[in-house]
A and B are shown apart, each in its own frame.
Chain A
């Protein structure tokens, strides 16, 4: 199954997901809202995306965007599953029940962005020390020891 066949299949089986689906650089991108995230991920796993390669997040000022990179051994295409969560209440849905590979990756996103994952069995910091204050990959992060890059560089 290539990416066009995936789009046809998705539009036939899940018509509500069809307008959320796009193709960028040969890979499928599916942007769902927070409530649909787990079901959409389960559907994609049913379709054959059996490997979760990466979990990360993007700081888009008002909200955070969770990005899940899915690949398949059977298909020739990859998928980006995305989900926006508001900055005031950054709570996502853990995909550990589907792909155990999300266990440490979601801990890293929690560590550096402060996004909490509902249903994660062991959500604590993984890279930074336990007593660290704040989440340093947020764009508004600052602490006393950082030196800001001056404008002329």
Chain B
């Protein structure tokens, strides 16, 4: 019942052809909830990645399950420092993953090079120099909760995708954007002048 309700809710919100959006809703629902991960652990962030898979954080309940074979996976989690010698291997593993595929850059090294940004002869400054990164997580290393949040954010991103080429659907955002708020006013703050 829950699935039917959710598809119905999705149909109510989304404009466009009714058949396409229904199929999109099912496909995005399925893709977003079975994100098998390619654990590209090259440095200390991999420890947090491993911890995220085990009992205490239990990524399996989000549908995220590490597979050591790129051909079985949907999302590559780049956890750790990528050196210039390692980068071609990472790119090749990414190319072996079947479409659709996503990339999470986990940790400061994968985001920007981190502490190896300056004076380093061998470190790639961010994995986005050669991979299309969808979600960035900062931290040195990030906690497993951050990775969990990244998976949920990626799920939000996938929910905007359509099987029609070049089409991207609108999503309601949980947080207000800058256009929703007038400058200088924050919601929930009571003006003291009016209370007297």
B85 with A147: CB separation less than 8 A: no
How many of chain A's residues have a CB under 8 angstroms from any CB in B?
13
The A57-96 residues at the B interface (CB cut-off 8 A) are none
User: Taking A128-B85, A129-B85 as contacts, is the C-beta distance between A148 and B121 under 8 angstroms?
Assistant: no
- Chain A binding surface, main DSSP class: loop
- Taken together as a complex, chains A and B put the C-alpha atoms of A143 and B121 apart, in Å, by 7
Contact of B118 among A127, A136, A141, A147 (CB under 8 A): A147
B121 with A153: CB separation less than 8 A: no
- Chain B binding surface, main DSSP class: loop
- Taken together as a complex, chains A and B put the C-alpha atoms of A129 and B119 apart, in Å, by 19
Least CB separation from A134: chain B residue:
B121
Q: What would 20 more interface pairs be, CB under 8 Å, given A128-B122, A146-B119? A: A127-B85, A128-B85, A129-B85, A136-B121, A136-B122, A141-B121, A143-B121, A145-B121, A146-B120, A146-B121, A147-B117, A147-B118, A147-B119, A147-B125, A148-B118, A148-B119, A149-B118, A149-B119, A150-B118, A153-B118
A-side residues, CB < 8 A to B, are 127-129, 136, 141, 143, 145-150, 153
B-side residues, CB < 8 A to A, are 85, 117-122, 125
List 17 A–B pairs whose Cβ atoms lie within 8 Å, in order of A's numbering: A127-B85, A128-B85, A128-B122, A129-B85, A136-B121, A136-B122, A141-B121, A143-B121, A145-B121, A146-B120, A146-B121, A147-B118, A147-B119, A147-B125, A148-B118, A149-B118, A149-B119
